[in-house]
Amino acid sequence: MLALVLQFLEFGVVRKLPGITDNGLSAVSQNSLYGLIDQNGNWVVDAIYEGFSYPFSHLIAAQKNGKIGYLDAEGNVAIDFNFEGRSEDTVRVGSLQAFYEGRAIVPISKRQENGRTVYEWAVINESGDIIPTEQDGFITWFSNGYAVAFRNNIFFMLDRDGGEYSLPSVFQRVGLVVYPSDDGIFMARFRYEDKTGYFRVGD
């Protein structure tokens, strides 16, 4: 865990965020916006963004002016800011979707429904191309080639190319929470029940 560091610069106070560091980069906040510095304290990405993904991989999700795009490790725009951003009260470091296994899950539109914001989600590759899928949302990122999505309150697995795989009925319950692991096995729990199960896709 990093200690809290304060740097007093001519243009204001920069606060290094404890624990938020990866690939030699650290997130810093300044005037309620975020940037990235290297291990020597040099600016890599100016503090002009409303939030970032975490970890800071070779493609970093960033939000600016209410839109999400992706930066490379040098701070250059790699994928244009074409995706719908998070609301001001929820966007921060770690609130945006990083790339996992060459795929990221991004909001492409939003609407107000019964007093709340409802997002439409899409899967993109590292070129920013949308991979066609039919889903109402996701509950995991991609791990071992799959993410868990849902449509019409039915949960299913989605592969990196948009292929679908059904989940057994025992996992079709309200409050499903899924935790991916590195060995290809997914752990499932239910928010409203004291039950845990495991599954994986394939043989």
pLDDT in tens, 67-109: 999 998 888 999 999 999 887 777 777 778 889 889 998 988 8
How many angstroms separate the first and last alpha carbons of the chain? Answer: 40
- 72 vs 86: CA distance, rounded Å: 21
- 131 vs 122: CA distance, rounded Å: 7
pTM: 0.79
Amino acid identity of 67? Answer: K
pLDDT at 12: 47
Residue 8 has pLDDT above 60, yes or no: no
Q: What value does the mean pLDDT take over residues 22-38? A: 84
Residue 59 has pLDDT above 80, yes or no: yes
> Which residue ranges make up each domain of the chain?
134-203
pLDDT band of residue 126 (cuts 50, 70, 90) is very high
- 164 vs 162: CA distance, rounded Å: 6
**Which residue, 1, 9, 62, is CA-closest to 31?**
9
- Cα-trace Rg, the chain: 19
